[in-house]
Chains A and B, each alone.
Chain A
Amino acid sequence: MAAPPMFFLLATVAVAAALGMLIARNPVSSALWLVLNLFCIAGLYLTLNASFIGVIQILVYAGAIMVLFLFVIMLLNLSALPELESLDWARIGGFAVGLVLLSQLLYVVALELDLGVEPVSGEMAAQVGSAATLGEILFTRYAVHLQVAGILLLAATVGAVLLAQRRFE
């Protein structure tokens, strides 16, 4: 577990970035805000000693997925859409539901959390979060899953091509 200043810094930036993504009018800005957020989260992973996931986070998310997003935004040459002006029922409802959901989640996870077990030590956590540990599990216990994940990605690729290719004329 991280030292408080580090955590709160990253957390604050993460929340701010998330809000930035939510509020920014231009999709490109949104994407960039999100990238910031993803970096913060990667940082949080590192504070948790989850080195492997932290690296993956940066590589896959920030490096691959967000590039894809930006690429598509550029490709489609999207500009800012006019957001809804007035507070209609859907928006009020959305806020209300979001608030309820948040309070429920906080009630569940944050208040007087007591898992009944002590958190493991930092070293042990670092070992658990290491590429070695995770890799071993991945290639033994989750070997089949890995194959299926491969199929999933293949399907996504095939599907993306199928959907996005130009129509035959």
Chain B
Amino acid sequence: MDLSSAFSTIVAELPAIFSMTVVGLVGLVLIVVDAYRNDHPAIPWLGAAALAAASVWEVTQLGAPADTVFFETLRTGGFVAFINLIVLLTGLATTLLSIPYLNQLRHDYGEVYALILYATVGMIMLGSSNNMISIFLGLETMSVCLYVLTGLIREDEGAVESALKYFLLGAFSTGFFLYGIALMYGATGTMVLPEMAAADLATTSTQLLFWGGFALFLVGFFFKVSAAPFHMWTPDVYQGAPTPLTGYMSTATKAAAFAALILVLVHAVPGGEWQLVLAAVAVLTMVMGNVMALAQTNVKRLLAYSSIAHAGYVLVGLAAGTQAGYAGALFYLLVYAVMNIGAFGVMALLEWDGKEGREQTLSSLAGIADRRPILGTTMGVFMFSLIGFPPLGGFAGKYFVFAPAVEAGLTWLVVIGVLMSALSAYYYLRVVYVFWMQSAAEVEATNPVTEAAFPPATRMAMGTLVVCAVALVVLGIFFGGVLETTAGFFEASAMAAAP
């Protein structure tokens, strides 16, 4: 292809990456603005506006048919729009929740919002990849931004330590991930996902190459979604990272990474050979996440283990390897994003030690719901949703990842899943009862909370949490439409349209 015709194609197809463009450009603008008007209060709102505008755009794209743009490097259509929507909305919520949190720290963090936008760009690329290079680049863009965001509060030992751990392990896993891509590339001779599926793995050694490469490739993803045994960074990093950004990390990252994984599974390796691996990792993840969460006293650490466990549930849906499984997993990602953003958001607004909540034990929050009923109520909703109680989104999500697994004959896996869910109730309920049922006097909190220590809960932040909670109720009752949408992405006809 020659350069001139390529340019016109690129321009013509630019609307397909509207979100990426808007978010990326506004990110650049923010840096410039921050450079001249350090810490201008409008910066976060500008970022939020970009995310909101992109979200609106993606909503209109939900029904779009699947297609590829930019010479088969990126995908468009409902699936992409859905994932982008999750990413953008979590980004938006994070931005809104970060404002009071970062104001409390009284430092100029204008760049933070720009970095959120950059990470979002990476995630969007990841979630709309159609070839391995897009995946790699998206993943790394996202990761690098997140390394920085983790270590944001550089005065704090914990934050920097988290960043270091995250970074070192992330880079380490990138090595495996890249190796995996290289081997798959070697076996198929292509980087484009559907072409990989079409490639003829005629000889034993190409098969070995391909599947060995795919295994290493999975390792990279397992790391990003914090599946066991690649999860060990998660608690340490989540605990040290600034709380609202932890929420962002645990949701948007997972959504984008899982989306890319689904794209690979669907387009590049549509067979079921990986079922056992996914199922085994799912089991390990669910067990490790839930069991280790049991004994946690720090809320953020607890939520970190919980997010590990939830990655396991999504993997159950993927392990099913059916349309319904993928659709359920997508739905689960949406629900999970809403509830986890909410849970971390609540914790962000209840953080009082100025050390990213790392000394904040559960018992110090005893009876907090009496003083902050809205936070208490929304936290209750998030926790019950995380357990998987109807009629909240968490239940519907679990139902639609477990159901396909049963259909695919993985009943044993689902049994483990539900047992672990039951176990998880123990620690989630602990949060609820600490919030609602204990009084500070009762538990003799070692580190008593003073009212002044809380970040000022802005209207917007509270509003975000309430919206999340309401969204969970709505998703828990009227999930039909959403599910139908996600299922639509994987229908044979929709897939056939893609090259």
Contact, chains A and B (beta carbon distance below 8 A): yes
* A interface with B by C-beta (< 8 Å): 104-105, 107-109, 111-117, 136, 139-145, 147-149, 151-152, 154-156, 158-160, 162-165, 167-168
With A109-B183, A155-B144 as given contacts, are A114 and B137 in contact (CB-CB < 8 Å)? no
Q: Which residues of A contact B71 (CB under 8 A)?
A: 140-141
Contact of B186 with A115 in the complex, beta carbons under 8 Å: yes
Q: Contact mask B93-130 → A, CB, 8 Å, 1/0? A: 00000000000000100010011001101100100000
Distance between Cα atoms of A111 and B118 in the complex (Å):
43
CB-nearest residue of chain B relative to A140? B6
Chain B at the A interface: mostly helix, strand, loop or mixed? helix
Between-chain CB contacts (< 8 Å), 7 pairs: A107-B208, A108-B208, A116-B202, A143-B6, A148-B122, A149-B137, A159-B148
Does B138 count as interface, using CB distance less than 8 angstroms? yes
Please choose the segment from B150-158, B321-329, B410-418 that sits at the chain A interface, where 4 or more of its residues have CB less than 8 A away: B150-158
User: Could you tell me if B70 and A141 are in contact, using CB atoms closer than 8 angstroms?
Assistant: yes
Of the candidates B70, B122, B151, which one forms a contact with A152 in the assembled complex, judged by CB atoms under 8 Å apart?
B122
**Residue from the list B17, B115, B186, B212 in contact with A158, Cβ < 8 A:** B115
Stretch of B24-32, B53-61, B393-401, B462-470 contacting A (4+ beta carbons < 8 Å): B24-32
Nearest chain B residue, comparing its CB with the CB of A146: B137
Question: Within 8 Å CB of B151, what residues of A?
Answer: 163
- Residue on A with the closest CB to B118? A155
A139 to chain B, nearest CB (A): 6
Chain A contact surface mostly: helix
Flag if B31 contacts A158 (CB, 8 Å): yes
- Cβ contacts under 8 Å, B205 to chain A: 111-115
Q: B350 near A: Cβ within 8 Å?
A: no
B35 and chain A: residue at smallest CB distance: A158
Task: Decide if B134 is an interface residue (CB 8 Å cutoff).
Answer: yes
Known contacts A140-B10, A143-B6, A151-B27; 13 further A-B pairs (Cβ under 8 A): A108-B183, A109-B209, A109-B212, A111-B205, A114-B203, A115-B186, A115-B209, A141-B71, A145-B125, A151-B24, A155-B141, A158-B148, A159-B115
**Which residue of A has the minimal Cβ distance to B212?**
A108
Of B137, B155, B187, B189, most buried by chain A (CB within 10 Å of CB) is B137
Contact among A111, A139, A168 with B107 in the assembled complex (CB-CB below 8 Å): A168
Chain A's nearest CB lies how many Å from the CB of B398?
A: 34
Residues on the B chain within 8 Å of A152, using CB: 118, 122, 137, 140-141, 144
B145 within 8 A of A: yes
Residue B133 is within 8 A (CB to CB) of chain A in the complex: yes
